[in-house]
Structure 1
């Protein structure tokens, strides 16, 4: 991926069409792994119940396995860059239940690159007594997994800084000393080469909704490490899109956190740079960001009452399954916004189903009382 224009004559400031955006992205290194476009369909029963047309964009069906999600898109570009550079190993990090680590690892396996994942204890219970959910999938795929327990009173940041990230650097140095080439991707499969990937999701939503005869009034999604949001904001600003992007946070976006509004702004600007466009002002970008932090619950990966109810309601009405860590809290936010009138009756809403269903098989302290 070429993150910066070669000269100022390469930079354009006008709006881009969806096709122009796709053509610009086509020049990025990419290994095609997922099955795209993913489906977009209306959830008839729950739409009727709430008086709002709710459509699901099914990134949970992206592949390459039956349990996947939105991280496969950026993984295609991360893998593309890795193959171009002769990378032999990809190292990434996350929580024990990490969707991104599993999805990036599965993409690496598809491309013949060895994945290694470094996972911290999101429950604060020590080394996992049983391999569940994504952790089990990692084991079935034969991935080298390093687990980092923490005490209940230890912060996530302390584990990252004192044990997990130093271990990543040690393993990277070992591999390089053996003649291997290593790429490290941050939590959430965040890497410069993959930041623009979800512009293609934005393009698919626009084209698929047009084919179905509507324009979305709102695009809803769950935001954690901030992989989707910058691309959706950039998509709106680049094309003059009319759909309002609304994000439901599953972890804090406070200014001193590892992810916050300023990081999203920086990533939007980086996407513009990769497309050889002059970015908008910070104020214009911030005006597009709408993050509701009311649905985090007690903490990240701790089930919320609203999220558990959303899982059951959608499963019983549509036989669509959400995950307790991410998508359930996001969909709970959407339903609450409808009840509050933030989404008026008759609106057209697209909800981005980013995956997370493997976490339905996690520890009960993560899944909640989903069985009733």
Structure 2
């Protein structure tokens, strides 16, 4: 049974505009040397776009199957996931409660503004680590059940075995686009947060016969933790799809995180300026900016040059730029 047939067994809501473009960045390529292709998952359509609609197509199909009337999830103050989960819930006729961890980016801007516009019930909590909000989500679910509601909990970043199916589909989509254009990439760069997207795309590309390195750029944790997450989600996803394949070796880098998740590093801000001024493409300061910073560092070190082809995933998140205006203004002044 092929992977497309296996995917067809799972219920799916249609939330994303797909296939998303695979754009050649011709001006950037001319400047750098390698041929750079950008997979535009910032253009998935729902509430300013991003990667989450692909994941939520499968996760919220489960919520509707179970009769849920409210979705509960969590994230940082500028969470793309909170924005897009709220929008998806609204599209499907459900309410949404989001638990957000208080941080430095709590201005009524960017993703926080959109979450409010979409009508989420926003709960702000003080925690040491915003990746540890699950107990708060469960407490909200208990509260809602006591009030007669039917909540469906979605973990931070939306990563579950079922949501990973959305990026198996995306990986198959990317493989089809590459075949149609006769492209055999030398590398595919992906952000690595919880690891769901990275794992699912790796599975799909290997299934479709693309042996190139799949390179993860961590946005929040060290390499060992990322590798553990990758192995975990590989096991969960292959069990769900009933595929008996061991996880292939992958390459993950943790040196681009900065001080913490969401830290707008100088390399990240430089990547944002470079893409904006060569291609008119806006990256975000949390995921795609750091993914591109990783690729650019490798290119500058001589890994990629003329004759190489590199694919980079743009996972969205651009609304967060507005909440980072102080850091961006300082960097613009620094760069003249």
TM interval, shorter chain, is over 0.9
Distance 1:350 1:103 in 2: 25
Give 2:19's aligned residue: 37
Match status 1:346 vs 2:307: yes
Give 1:64-143 correspondences, 5 Å limit: 64-65=46-47, 67-123=48-104, 128=106, 130-143=107-120
Give 1:271's aligned residue: 237
Give 2:323's aligned residue: 362
Kindly indicate whether the alpha-carbon contact (under 8 Å) linking 2:160 and 2:196 is maintained by their aligned counterparts in 1: no
Deviations 1:272-318 (A, max 9, x none): 122221131xxxx251x211111112221111111111111110100
Give 1:315's aligned residue: 276
For residue 238 of structure 1, report the CA deviation from its aligned partner: 2.8
| Structure 1: segments with no counterpart, 5+ residues | 1-15
Match status 1:52 vs 2:18: no
Deviations 1:93-125 (A, max 9, x none): 1110111121122111111111110010232x8
Kindly indicate whether the alpha-carbon contact (under 8 Å) linking 2:134 and 2:155 is maintained by their aligned counterparts in 1: no
Give 1:156's aligned residue: 129
Kindly indicate whether the alpha-carbon contact (under 8 Å) linking 1:322 and 1:356 is maintained by their aligned counterparts in 2: yes
Match status 1:177 vs 2:138: no
Distance 1:317 1:143 in 2: 37
Distance 1:107 1:118 in 2: 16
Give 1:228's aligned residue: 197
Kindly indicate whether the alpha-carbon contact (under 8 Å) linking 1:132 and 1:363 is maintained by their aligned counterparts in 2: no
> Any idea what SS the aligned residue of 1:240 has?
coil
For residue 141 of structure 1, report the CA deviation from its aligned partner: 0.8
Residue of structure 1 aligned with 2:4, choices 16, 22, 38: 22
Indicate the larger mover: 342-351 or 322-331: 342-351
More helix by share: 2
For these two proteins, the number of residue pairs brought into alignment is 333
Distance 1:294 1:147 in 2: 30
Give 1:254-293 correspondences, 5 Å limit: 255=224, 259-280=225-246, 285=247, 287=249, 289-293=250-254
Kindly indicate whether the alpha-carbon contact (under 8 Å) linking 1:175 and 1:182 is maintained by their aligned counterparts in 2: yes
> Any idea what SS the aligned residue of 1:106 has?
helix
Give 2:186's aligned residue: 217
| Structure 2: segments with no counterpart, 5+ residues | none
Kindly indicate whether the alpha-carbon contact (under 8 Å) linking 1:359 and 1:367 is maintained by their aligned counterparts in 2: no
Distance 1:166 1:275 in 2: 29
For residue 254 of structure 1, report the CA deviation from its aligned partner: 5.2
Residue of structure 2 aligned with 1:246, choices 208, 215, 230: 215
> Any idea what SS the aligned residue of 2:93 has?
coil
Deviations 1:241-265 (A, max 9, x none): 223201111111354xxx5312211
For residue 368 of structure 1, report the CA deviation from its aligned partner: 6.3
Distance 2:208 2:182 in 1: 19
For residue 138 of structure 1, report the CA deviation from its aligned partner: 0.4
> Any idea what SS the aligned residue of 2:153 has?
strand
Q: Provide the TM-score with structure 2 as the length reference.
A: 0.93
> Any idea what SS the aligned residue of 2:23 has?
strand
Say if 1:347 and 1:223 are closer, same or farther in 2 by CA, change over 3 A: same
Distance 1:143 1:24 in 2: 34
Give 1:5's aligned residue: none
For residue 360 of structure 1, report the CA deviation from its aligned partner: 0.8
